Structure 1
């Protein structure tokens, strides 16, 4: 299951898919993200989460430019409760390069609190390793 999202200029800003082999939902965010884009894309992620009931998300922001902090209030109030109800438990987030993307991720991390386990990473291999570890029976 895969979905691609384009902005009003026809440029893809999100590819989200259920990675059956790794048992996680992989989100590849790209470019400058508007509030509407983050909401639209996040609803698509939520639909995949609801369909698969997969408790693991790998959110890749390495291609994101600038801040998306303006969406965090909506994510906290609207998306998180629905994601939790659909089974989300572990969220590995690879931060965007640059101070604005990192600040956006840190703000979201604070908002998540103890709702589910969220870890911030700069390296995709470390994020993947953490998710794999969380899937182990003893984790």
Structure 2
């Protein structure tokens, strides 16, 4: 199993990275640049593949470097990705929102559609998102 995954577009631009942090603390997924249906699906399927190799309950999904909307992939994310990830064990999503208003609107739309399946919190930076995910572990172990 790879420690860090990096996906690139045809001309070599990285559009997605993912890596496990800690023994199984969380998966850190980072998205970059303009996204298309194809890149969203490729990154989403990579997260699912990681989940099937070794399940994880927490995801830091950072879109802070995304430009523009990727709403053309919302239906897939809602109807395919989210149910498969939930079934495989994902429970918590720390969503870092981008500075792009269009990408932020897309994320808000997705959250509205899938928030009944996961506990989702939004953040402006990765450090706050990471802190919340690590606190969830502490809360979960006390319940």
TM-score, with normalisation over the residues of structure 1?
0.94
Distance 1:113 1:50 in 2: 22
Counterpart check, 1:26 vs 2:40: no
Shift of 1:57: 0.2
Q: Secondary structure at the match of 1:115?
A: coil
Cα distance in structure 2, aligned partners of 1:49 and 1:42: 11
Aligned residue number for residue 13 of structure 1: 15
- Runs (4 or more) in structure 1 with deviation over 4 Å come to none
Which residue, 112, 135, 138 being the options, matches 2:137? 135
* Partner of residue 75, structure 1: 77
TM-score normalised by the chain length of structure 2:
0.91
Q: CA RMSD in A?
A: 1.3
Alignment of 1:20-99 (within 5 A): 20-21=22-23, 23-99=25-101
Q: Does 1:105 align with 2:107?
A: yes
Any idea what SS the aligned residue of 1:135 has? helix
Q: Measure, in 1, the Cα distance between the counterparts of 2:108 and 2:34.
A: 18
> Can you give the 5+ residue segments of structure 2 that lack an aligned partner in the other structure?
none
